[in-house]
Amino acid sequence: MLYDKARIFVQAGGGGDGCLSFRREAHVPHGGPDGGDGGHGGDVVVVCDDSLRDLQSFKRRAHYKAKRAGHGEGDLRHGAGGPELAIRVPPGTQIASWDGSTHDLVVPGQRVVVARGGSGGRGNKRFATSTRQAPRLAEHGLPGEEGWIDLRLKLLADVGLVGLPNAGKSSLLARMTRAAPKVAAYPFTTLEPVLGTLEGAERQLVIADIPGLIEGASEGAGLGHDFLAHVERTRLLVHVLDIAPVDGSDPVDNHATIEAELRAHDLRLAELPRLLALSKADLVAPEEAERTARAWHERLGDEVDVFVTSSATGLGLEELARELGRRVPLSGPAHPADAIALDDVPAEDHRVFRPAAGRNFSVERTGDGAFRVAGDGVERLLMRHDLDNDEALAHVESRLRRMGVISALEAQGFEPGDDVEIAGVLFELHPG
Ligand SMILES: Nc1nc2c(ncn2[C@@H]2O[C@H](COP(=O)(O)OP(=O)(O)OP(=O)(O)O)[C@@H](O)[C@H]2O)c(=O)[nH]1
Ligand SMILES: [Mg+2]
């Protein structure tokens, strides 16, 4: 079974706390502040690793947590940063993050930070000013980002083979490449995509054989539905069509069924260039095969090249291979991991940036002498400080004043001593 989907929870490390400390020396009765800063929490990154083939490693593990950073210490020692936690995924993995951002990991070594570590708190040394020489406050480190991310593997191939079950796709792949997919005289032999490499004169071409599609595949019937995603990124599709189906079905109908499923799955798929490979030509007389090919040529027009092939005799396969080499642009990189047709956009362009957490806050009156303040910046300020510490509280109050929160409260009737709730913390505010 091919593991091509996974859902994992990632949690970046928390930042270390800043330190509250004063220098102690034998001859200096009142040493200055020397509390160091906390370190930055470990990020969680996802890294593209071409030694991996699928997402199987995520079957047993769903939680990934980076380490928190070290706390600051006296003597101006800063806390060590938390080590980054790297999660390895195969080329072709797409990431959809809880925050709405998406990334494509295509090139080996490519990396994306999916959860940022929390920043460290500042030590008391940083709060020293000419008027406040002995600050008795230090900041807490902030928690790291956390959330669920969805991983989805979409194989990277240059060419995709599509067709009804039993059409002869796997036989074609086996004959043209060194891949050895299972071949049998019944439908649904191929249960998951198989990749094969065609050794061309100048480069390799990666061909994907996907399980047979049936009517309704794009809505989930049969096996093909899930696998259609794997041909989304190919540059070219080869529609494999049985020239003489044993079940007596009409090849014209069969052809239409597959084309309709491709359109229903994704219009971009339907727009990919196509070749038609009439398969199993050894089962009909050569003249009949040629006649059929001409009929298809008339039906489909000049856009679609038609090949008469047989995996049993090798008929037409060299021509087909040559045409594939010609049609897949040479500019394309030889490494399959780079073979992206539809998403030739650097991963960072896929990023949906969240608005910078800023000075935005809201103030709401919740009762008589009671208020609630909400907003990222304000909430972070509170998380940073120990509100039982008078000096820290005074610092928070002066920051709130500078951020305009106090005047916004006053505009709503706030008076010193009223209760204010910020980020679930209720406290009496006495702005100095
Ligand atoms: N005579 C003849 N039989 C062929 C040829 N190609 C495939 N077959 C037979 O057709 C049957 C199906 O072939 P597969 O290659 O497994 O077909 P498939 O399209 O991969 O089928 P699924 O994986 O079930 O979708 C097998 O019995 C093959 O031996 C051919 O060129 N000539
Ligand atoms: Mg097959």
| DSSP structure string for 382-419 | HHHS-TTSHHHHHHHHHHHHHHTHHHHHHHTT--TT-E
pLDDT tens digits, one per residue of 334-367: 344 333 333 333 333 333 223 333 458 899 999 8
> φ, ψ for residue 226 (rounded to 5)?
-60, -30
Q: Whose CA is nearest to atom 6 of ligand 1?
A: 168
- Nearest-atom number in ligand 1 for the CA of 164 is 25
Ligand number with the minimum distance to the CA of 183: 1
Residue whose tokens read 């060299």: 318
Return d(Cα 46, Cα 63) in angstroms, integer.
Answer: 13
- Ligand 1 center–CA 185 separation, angstroms: 6
Burial of 138 per CB tally in 10 Å (0-12, 13-18, 19+):
buried
pLDDT tens digits, one per residue of 154-170: 877 889 999 999 999 99
Q: Whose CA is nearest to atom 13 of ligand 1?
A: 168
Ligand number with the minimum distance to the CA of 168: 1
- Ligand 2 center–CA 264 separation, angstroms: 22
Q: Of how many residues is the chain composed?
A: 432
- pLDDT value, residue 221: 67
Q: Whose CA is nearest to atom 14 of ligand 1?
A: 168
Sheet holding 146-153, edge to edge: 63-65, 5-11, 146-153, 93-97, 102-105
Q: Which residues surround ligand 2, an ion (CB under 5 A)?
A: 170, 189-190
Return d(Cα 181, Cα 428) in angstroms, integer.
Answer: 72
- Ligand 2 center–CA 50 separation, angstroms: 25
- Ligand 1 center–CA 167 separation, angstroms: 6
> φ, ψ for residue 11 (rounded to 5)?
-140, 120
- pLDDT value, residue 148: 97
Ligand number with the minimum distance to the CA of 164: 1
Ligand number with the minimum distance to the CA of 239: 1
Below-70 pLDDT ranges, the chain:
1-2, 28-29, 201-202, 220-225, 329-359, 432
| Cα dihedral 317, 321, 327, 331 in deg (nearest 10) | 180
Q: Are 166 and 244 in contact (CB under 8 A)?
A: no
- Ligand 2 center–CA 209 separation, angstroms: 7
- Ligand 1 center–CA 280 separation, angstroms: 8
- Nearest-atom number in ligand 1 for the CA of 185 is 27
Distances 178 to 191, 197, 329 between C-alpha atoms, Å: 19, 7, 22
- pLDDT value, residue 372: 94
Mutation probe of ligand 1 site: the residue of 166, 188, 279 with most atoms within 8 A of C-beta:
166
Q: Whose CA is nearest to atom 32 of ligand 1?
A: 280
Q: Whose CA is nearest to atom 7 of ligand 1?
A: 168
Identity of the amino acid at 242? D
pLDDT tens digits, one per residue of 201-251: 667 788 988 888 777 777 766 665 677 777 877 889 999 999 999 999 999
Q: What is the CA radius of gyration of the chain?
A: 32
- Other CB atoms within 10 A of residue 391 CB: 18
- Nearest-atom number in ligand 1 for the CA of 190 is 23
- Ligand 2 center–CA 216 separation, angstroms: 18
Q: Are 183 and 170 in contact (CB under 8 A)?
A: yes
- pLDDT value, residue 104: 86
- Nearest-atom number in ligand 1 for the CA of 188 is 24
- Ligand 2 center–CA 256 separation, angstroms: 20
User: Which residues have any ligand 1 atom within 6 Å of their CB?
Assistant: 163, 165-171, 183-185, 187-190, 211-212, 279-280, 282-283, 310-312
